[in-house]
Structure 1
Amino acid sequence: MMKNSDWFSSKDYAGEKTFLLWSSLTNTIPTLFWFLLYILKDEFIFEKVFNEINEHFPKEFFDNIQHISFNDNILHDKLICCIYLESIINESLRLYSNSMIMRKSIKNFEFTLHDKRKIFIKKNSLLRYILILLKMIQTILLLQINLFLIDL
């Protein structure tokens, strides 16, 4: 936007920045809340995540950050190893995010709409949906979408 500032007014620029701020806060804060709730309410999950974080991010790692030229790749590589942490974040997003997500179907399936029309989905089709809508059609998909499930 700044490269083509002659195309955009100050109002356009402010609107875009407000949109970015709002969209980040819309999902980040609620997801963080639910993420912490699920970790703290279940001792087994808490222990798994706590041990995983301590294994990949020991105290010495943070003590040495000031003394080394910190590389984002180091942090990225360590975060990739935190599979339980990632699972909880993904599950929190699945349950409480308002965003649209995309998934690939793992098999052929069909379902009937209220007016008797049938929808056919082929294996490996890309599906886009808003999570709040998925909660409304959980009986069609036969999922326990309100159940917090992590890969432990």
Structure 2
Amino acid sequence: MGNLLSAMFSATDVQQEWNRGELWAFVYRIMFSASFRTLFGRHKENKDETARLVHSMEEFQKYDKRFPEIISNVPWWLMGQTRKRYEYLKSMVSPAELSQRGLSDFMRMRQEIYTDGELSADEKAAFNFATMWASLSNTLPAAFWTLYHLLKDPVAMAAVRAEVDQLLKETGQTLENVKEGGEMIHVTRQQLNDMKCLGSAINEALRMCSASIIIRVATEDAELALESGSTFRIRKGDRVGLYPGFLHMDPEVYDHPETFKYDRFLENGQEKTAFYKNGRKLRHYLLPFGHGVSMCPGRFFALNEIKQLVTIVVCYFDMELIDMETPPMDQSRAGLGTLAPLNDCLFRYRFKQGCL
């Protein structure tokens, strides 16, 4: 929360007049900085840390745009500066660099594991960069779409704001006493878990923007029984790809699937888990993070970070969309995770009264 607040305030003009900005760029900068510092800590000596992070963010964004080509094994020499950017980003999380940072316990333990595995310094840097990429590439678009849809839907935003206000009331926190004490809004992990309305809005955004493919390799010959009554034969060694996007946009499972409904995953104040297809209750109805043993291990970190981002926005800012036309999604990432907006959209913001 501290890293998100710090990134938010450094990315905004601290005043109570309306400011204009681009929402995707706004979310990207805040989430990149907060995620990086949460995992890898702050540099102990470098006074140009903010400038370095901004440059790293720009390099990461350019690298990430080539990700579909990278995993398709397109040669580096066909991708311009991509290899150079990869080496630079690795240097930001190399063992030598991390020795100068106040690492999170998670990353510190990973470094110990790498040392026990007798990995080279370059291999450690590569693994650290993989962690860095995994913490950012799919979380950033999910955070953008959650905030975008809440800003576009006043009813949804009002419901989330009421939930945040209730949390503050129950914990005795107000913007006034936070300001006077020089403190920050604080929520525990359990309190984040209890934010069912906001959790539903995030799940709804993920339902609409996630586009991962789940891939499995058959370890033996098998036959799949299809709903139609026919069977499909799979041979040992065959690769099977499952695309949850078809499920997420199935109108029989989700009424009006192209419409954002913040309370779609909410029922009587609790998380809704009953969704049906052909009259049968679905065991798996939402799969933005994959499934089984390969399910994204950082999903809780991502969801809680998005919840914290929205909580900060609700507490400290007035925000309004200027561009009301929903930007299209970048389909070049289809099959690889959550889809970013193809173009940015304008919004305006200001600090709430009493926040300065």
Q: TM-score, normalised by structure 1?
A: 0.62
TM-fit CA distance, 1:137: 5.8
Which of 9, 13, 29 pairs up with 2:140? 29
The separation in 1 between residues aligned to 2:142 and 2:118, in whole angstroms, is 36
Classify 1:25/1:78 alpha carbon distance in 2 versus 1 (closer, same or farther; 3 Å). Answer: same
TM-fit CA distance, 1:112: 4.4
> Residue 134 of structure 1 corresponds to which residue in structure 2?
244
The separation in 2 between residues aligned to 1:142 and 1:61, in whole angstroms, is 49
Classify 1:26/1:44 alpha carbon distance in 2 versus 1 (closer, same or farther; 3 Å). Answer: same
The separation in 2 between residues aligned to 1:85 and 1:61, in whole angstroms, is 24
Which of 66, 69, 92 pairs up with 2:183? 66
> Residue 196 of structure 2 corresponds to which residue in structure 1?
83
After superposition, the C-alpha distances for 1:44-87 in whole angstroms (9 at most, x for unaligned) are: 101111111122134257445739xx9x8x52233233211111
Q: Aligned residue pairs: how many?
A: 128
Contact 1:110 1:118 in 2 (8 A): yes
User: Which consecutive unaligned segments of at least 5 residues does structure 1 have?
Assistant: 102-108, 120-128
Classify 1:111/1:139 alpha carbon distance in 2 versus 1 (closer, same or farther; 3 Å). Answer: farther
Correspondence 1:137-148 to 2 at 5 A: 142-144=252-254, 145-148=257-260
TM-fit CA distance, 1:139: 8.1
The separation in 2 between residues aligned to 1:62 and 1:24, in whole angstroms, is 30
Contact 1:112 1:118 in 2 (8 A): no
Please, what is the CA RMSD of the aligned residues? Answer: 3.8
Which of 111, 115, 126 pairs up with 1:2? 111
Q: TM-score, normalised by structure 2?
A: 0.30
Query: Which residue identity does 2:244 align to in structure 1?
Result: L
> Residue 155 of structure 2 corresponds to which residue in structure 1?
44
Contact 1:95 1:146 in 2 (8 A): yes
Contact 2:212 2:245 in 1 (8 A): no
The separation in 1 between residues aligned to 2:199 and 2:154, in whole angstroms, is 18
TM-fit CA distance, 1:34: 0.4
Structure scoring higher RCO (CA < 8 A, sep ≥ 6) equals 2
The separation in 2 between residues aligned to 1:7 and 1:91, in whole angstroms, is 43
> Residue 111 of structure 1 corresponds to which residue in structure 2?
227
Classify 1:27/1:65 alpha carbon distance in 2 versus 1 (closer, same or farther; 3 Å). Answer: farther
The separation in 2 between residues aligned to 1:77 and 1:65, in whole angstroms, is 24
The separation in 2 between residues aligned to 1:49 and 1:139, in whole angstroms, is 24
User: Which consecutive unaligned segments of at least 5 residues does structure 2 have?
Assistant: 1-109, 169-173, 215-224, 234-240, 268-356
The separation in 1 between residues aligned to 2:127 and 2:157, in whole angstroms, is 38
Query: Which residue identity does 1:117 align to in structure 2?
Result: T
Residue 183 of structure 2: SS of its match in structure 1?
Answer: helix
Contact 1:40 1:46 in 2 (8 A): yes
> Residue 128 of structure 2 corresponds to which residue in structure 1?
17
Contact 2:142 2:205 in 1 (8 A): yes
> Residue 167 of structure 2 corresponds to which residue in structure 1?
56
